Chains A and B, each alone.
Chain A
Amino acid sequence: MNSWNPTCESMSREEMRKLQSERLIKTVRRIYHNVPYYRNKMQQLGLLPEDINSVDDLKKLPFTYKQDLRDTYPYGLFAAPLSEIVRIHASSGTTGRPTVVGYTRNDITVWSEVMARTLTAAGAGKESFIQIAYGYGLFTGGLGVHYGAERIGASVIPISGGNTKRQIQIMKDFGTTHIACTPSYALYLAETMEEMGIRKEELSLKAGVFGAEPWTDNMRKEIENKLGIKAIDIYGLSEVIGPGVAFECECQNGLHISEDHFIPEIIDPQTGEVLPEGEKGELVFTTITKEGIPLIRYRTRDISSLTYEKCECGRTLVRMSRVSGRTDDMLIIRGVNVFPSQIESVLLEIGETAPHYLLIVDRVGKLDTLEILVEVSDKLFSDEIKRLEELENKIRREIESTLGITAKVRLVEPKTIERSEGKAKRVIDKRNLK
Chain B
Amino acid sequence: MLVKQISVFLENKSGRLAEVTSILGKNDIDISALSIADTTDFGILRLIVNKPEQAERILKENGFTVSCTDVIAIAVVDEPGGLAAALRVLDDASIGIEYMYAFVGKATNEALVILRVEEPEKAVQVLDKNNIRVLPAERVYEL
Contacts and interface: CB of A to CB of B under 8 A. Distances in A.
Interface of A: 376-378, 381-385, 388-389, 410-416
B41 A384 contact: no
B65 A388 contact: no
Taking residues whose C-beta sits less than 8 angstroms from the other chain, chain B's interface range is 20 to 34
Given A376-B9, A383-B44, A384-B99, A414 B63 contact: yes
Contacts of B16: 413
B61 to A, nearest CB: 12
B44 A413 contact: no
Interface string B108-142: 00000000100000000000000000000000000
Contacts of A376: 9, 42, 65
A382 B67 contact: yes
Given A410-B41, A411-B41, A413-B10, A381 B65 contact: yes
A412 to B, nearest CB: 5
Given A381-B65, A413-B65, A388 B11 contact: no
Interface in B2-56: 5, 7, 9-11, 16, 37-39, 41-42, 44, 46
B66 interface: yes
Contact of B69 (A378, A383, A413, A416): A383
Contacts of A382: 67
B5 A383 contact: yes
B64 interface: yes
Interface of B: 5, 7, 9-11, 16, 37-39, 41-42, 44, 46, 60, 63-67, 69, 98-99, 116
B98 A389 contact: no
Contacts of A388: 9, 39, 42, 44
Contact of A385 (B5, B37, B65, B67): B37
Given A378-B65, A382-B67, A384-B99, 16 more contacts: A377-B65, A378-B60, A381-B7, A383-B67, A384-B44, A384-B116, A385-B39, A385-B44, A388-B44, A389-B39, A412-B42, A413-B9, A413-B11, A413-B65, A414-B63, A415-B63
The SS class assigned to the B binding surface is strand
- Among all A-B residue pairs, the 10 with the closest Cβ atoms: A383-B7, A415-B63, A381-B65, A376-B65, A376-B9, A385-B37, A383-B69, A413-B11, A410-B41, A411-B42
B11 A414 contact: no
Given A385-B37, A385-B39, A411 B99 contact: no
Contacts of B46: 383
A378 B56 CA distance: 12
14 contacts: A376-B9, A381-B67, A383-B7, A383-B69, A383-B116, A384-B116, A385-B37, A389-B39, A411-B41, A411-B42, A412-B42, A413-B65, A414-B64, A414-B65
Contacts of A381: 7, 9, 65-67
